[in-house]
């Protein structure tokens, strides 16, 4: 999914607090080291090319791997209850560490962290491609998320400090946004080609040459910069929130294995998740330099919008996981054909993000958000009507386009609410929180929906196992469809819950003049 950040508006005055936030900008001392508007960096467009290549790699990686998942599961013998970790391990690490990664990039040096992120991403991609078992693959995916959490904010910060002319900066962010929006669709096709004509492992190997080329090109092309002032990293906050989310997802996984046999472990993990997340809030309240200043999420409109962002991310990522399996396993699509089958979804999100801009201007952000989620929920509930005679044209295409159009409209209006009335010192962290909620939703959604899928499948197959656990007879296709329908229905339920939250909590019904116009909006929707 495409990250959503808000760069500082040109000409705005930096303040000391902003240097300690997830800065998308530069401070006075950084400006002194950067070329001014009258003396532009002669390598700025080369730098943009390198940064764009790295950004495209991160966007491609998620959608490429999504197509490869059924083949990786089959070769490595990954259980159905564990398969979502290939998606979840990445999104958990990425979303949980994104805010910390932004701070590290600002104070340790944006170019240095950018290079570390590239080289690290290249190395762990090799580890994942060589994985002999599911556990190694999941670990490699988690490490990819760690390095992506360094790479993504460093890349965006570098664009902001490299382009000092307002018009050129707008063009640079336009290029960045286009890659974010279209990269997911390209990844679906690339993943299909690699999986079908090479091997699913090349969906991971492909990152290594891209990352190394970008790293080598970055050395001469990108100018070093960093924020001044004391370096303050909220390590306890990052550990607590990431640990709490891992415990929550692992609890869902244990539940999928069978609540009757693992009820103790499930309850212990869920309790640990609650304790860790409550401790995170307590730490953030008292920290001098918190990872997430609680004033950002105490605002009613902002809190409701971010919670809706998490729920829609959960529903969308979960839907994509099961639609991948339905296309390749049940309909028998090749990986390439499955990748092409997802293009209407990517196209629908991009089209809504572009064509719906006027609605936000005329109606304000709340109406498009509510309308968008309602349309997405309708599309998801339509998808939950799949049956044994469903085809792609009759059962998948329509719901896919409807859901995409609704999500695109929601993602378009979301930053206007979140960034309206936010203090300048919190603009960076507020915009980064949008992406964080989407990534965390992308971790929780597949885990929750996979648990419900397994439960529905086991319910449909009750009485078909022998005492040893073996199937007495072949599993009927309708049993799998029952599991898919349950997962899609649950995703629709998450959308409906998001709709209710926005309708009740969000009060801003007119466009705010205080909203940042520099935010990149939308989502690729293909992670």
The reply to whether 64 falls in a domain is yes
Q: Indicate the SS3 state at residue 471.
A: strand
Are 204 and 333 members of one domain? Answer: yes
Are 53 and 174 members of one domain? Answer: yes
Are 260 and 122 members of one domain? Answer: no
Are 154 and 255 members of one domain? Answer: no
The total of other beta-carbon atoms located within 10 Å of residue 340's CB is 15
For the chain, what is the mean pLDDT? 80
The reply to whether 427 falls in a domain is yes
Are 168 and 251 members of one domain? Answer: no
Per-residue confidence (pLDDT) for residue 438, from 0 to 100: 85
Are 353 and 215 members of one domain? Answer: yes
Q: Is 193 exposed, middle or buried (0-12, 13-18, 19+ CB in 10 A)?
A: middle
Q: Is 513 exposed, middle or buried (0-12, 13-18, 19+ CB in 10 A)?
A: exposed
Nearest residue to 431 (alpha-carbon basis) of 417, 412, 418, 413: 418
Q: Which residues of 27-40 are buried (b: 16+ CB within 10 A; e: fewer)?
A: beebeeebbeeeeb
Nearest residue to 491 (alpha-carbon basis) of 326, 271, 246, 247: 326
Final residue before a domain boundary, out of 286, 315, 350? 286
Are 256 and 334 members of one domain? Answer: no
Per-residue confidence (pLDDT) for residue 186, from 0 to 100: 79
Rounded to a whole number of angstroms, the CA Rg of the chain reads: 22
The reply to whether 13 falls in a domain is no
The reply to whether 356 falls in a domain is yes
Are 195 and 255 members of one domain? Answer: no
Are 361 and 426 members of one domain? Answer: yes
Per-residue confidence (pLDDT) for residue 88, from 0 to 100: 86
The total of other beta-carbon atoms located within 10 Å of residue 494's CB is 28
The total of other beta-carbon atoms located within 10 Å of residue 213's CB is 16
The reply to whether 517 falls in a domain is no
Instruction: Render 90-124 in DSSP notation, one character per residue.
Output: HHHHHHHHHHHHHHHHHHH-HHHHHHHHHHHHHHH
pTM: 0.78
Nearest residue to 113 (alpha-carbon basis) of 281, 266, 227: 227
Higher per-residue confidence, 4 vs 342: 342
CA atoms within 13 A on the CB side of 13: 1
Q: What is the pLDDT of residues 236-245, one digit of tens each?
A: 888 898 888 8
The reply to whether 342 falls in a domain is yes
Q: Which domain holds residue 253?
A: 235-286
Q: What is the pLDDT of residues 109-126, one digit of tens each?
A: 889 999 999 999 999 999
Q: Is the pLDDT of residue 413 over 60?
A: yes
Q: Indicate the SS3 state at residue 406.
A: helix
The reply to whether 68 falls in a domain is yes
Q: Indicate the SS3 state at residue 399.
A: helix
Per-residue confidence (pLDDT) for residue 398, from 0 to 100: 95
Final residue before a domain boundary, out of 286, 303, 318? 286
The reply to whether 478 falls in a domain is yes
Torsion angle in degrees (nearest 10) through CA of 241, 244, 250, 252:
-110
Phi/psi for 15 (5° steps) reads: -130, 160
Pick the most confident of 62-66, 86-90, 431-435. Answer: 86-90
Nearest residue to 313 (alpha-carbon basis) of 195, 411, 197: 411
Q: What is the pLDDT of residues 285-333, one digit of tens each?
A: 888 888 888 888 888 898 999 999 999 999 999 999 899 999 998 899 9
Phi/psi for 65 (5° steps) reads: -70, -35
Are 243 and 355 members of one domain? Answer: no
Nearest-angstrom CA–CA distance, 330 and 326: 5
The structural domain count of the chain equals 2
Are 191 and 262 members of one domain? Answer: no
Q: Is the pLDDT of residue 2 over 50?
A: no
Q: What is the pLDDT of residues 474-507, one digit of tens each?
A: 556 678 898 999 999 999 999 999 999 999 998 8
CA distance to 196, 202, 335, per residue, from 199 (Å) = 7, 6, 11
List the CATH number of the domain containing 444.
1.20.1250.20
Per-residue confidence (pLDDT) for residue 157, from 0 to 100: 77
Per-residue confidence (pLDDT) for residue 523, from 0 to 100: 39
Are 247 and 393 members of one domain? Answer: no
Contacts of 484 (CB under 8 A, 6+ apart): 322, 325, 326, 330, 386, 453
Q: What is the pLDDT of residues 73-89, one digit of tens each?
A: 999 999 888 888 898 88
């Amino acid at each position: 999914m495409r990250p959503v950040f808000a760069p500082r508006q040109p000409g705005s005055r930096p303040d000391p607090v902003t240097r300690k936030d997830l800065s998308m900008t530069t401070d006075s001392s950084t400006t002194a080291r950067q070329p001014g508007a009258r003396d532009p960096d002669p390598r700025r467009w080369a730098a943009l090319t390198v940064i764009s290549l790295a950004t495209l790699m991160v966007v491609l990686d998620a959608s490429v791997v999504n197509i490869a998942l059924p083949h990786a599961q089959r070769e490595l013998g990954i259980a159905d209850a564990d398969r979502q970790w290939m998606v979840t391990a990445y999104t958990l690490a990425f979303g949980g560490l994104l805010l910390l990664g932004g701070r590290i990039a600002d104070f340790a040096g944006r170019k240095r962290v950018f290079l570390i992120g590239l080289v690290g991403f290249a190395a762990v991609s090799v580890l994942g491609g060589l994985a002999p078992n599911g556990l190694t693959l999941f670990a490699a995916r988690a490490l990819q998320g760690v390095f992506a959490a360094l790479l993504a904010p460093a890349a965006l910060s570098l664009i902001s400090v490299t382009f000092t002319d307002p018009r050129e900066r707008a063009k640079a962010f336009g290029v960045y946004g286009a890659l974010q929006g279209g990269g997911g669709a390209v990844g679906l096709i690339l993943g299909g080609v690699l999986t079908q004509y090479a091997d699913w492992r090349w969906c991971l190997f492909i990152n290594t040459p891209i990352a190394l080329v970008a790293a080598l090109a970055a050395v001469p092309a990108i100018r070093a910069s960093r924020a001044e002032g004391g370096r303050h990293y909220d390590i306890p906050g990052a550990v607590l929130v990431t640990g709490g989310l891992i415990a929550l997802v692992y609890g869902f996984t244990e539940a999928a294995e069978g609540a009757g046999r693992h009820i103790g472990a499930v309850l212990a993990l869920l309790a640990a998740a609650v304790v860790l997340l409550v401790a995170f809030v307590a730490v953030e309240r008292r920290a001098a330099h918190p990872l997430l200043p609680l004033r950002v999420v105490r605002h009613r409109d902002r809190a409701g919008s971010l919670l809706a962002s998490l729920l829609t991310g959960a529903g969308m990522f979960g839907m994509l996981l099961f639609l991948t399996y339905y296309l390749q396993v049940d309909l028998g699509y090749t990986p390439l054909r499955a990748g092409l089958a997802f293009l209407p979804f990517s196209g629908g999100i991009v089209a809504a993000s572009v064509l719906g801009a006027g609605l936000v201007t005329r109606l304000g952000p709340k109406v498009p958000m509510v309308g968008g989620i309602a349309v997405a929920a309708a599309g998801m509930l339509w998808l939950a009507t799949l049956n044994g005679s469903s085809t792609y044209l009759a059962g998948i295409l329509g719901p896919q386009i409807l859901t995409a159009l609704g999500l695109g409209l929601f993602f378009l209006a979301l930053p206007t609410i979140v960034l309206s009335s936010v203090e300048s010192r919190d603009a960076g962290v507020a915009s980064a929180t949008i992406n964080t909620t989407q990534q965390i939703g992308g971790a929780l959604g597949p885990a929750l929906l996979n648990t419900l899928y397994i439960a529905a499948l086991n319910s449909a197959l009750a009485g078909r196992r022998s005492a040893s656990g073996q199937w007495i007879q072949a599993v009927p296709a309708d049993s799998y469809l029952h599991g898919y329908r349950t997962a899609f229905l649950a995703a629709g339920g998450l959308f409906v819950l998001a709709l209710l939250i926005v309708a009740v909590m969000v009060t801003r019904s007119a466009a705010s003049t205080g909203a940042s116009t520099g935010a990149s909006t939308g989502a690729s929707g293909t992670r």
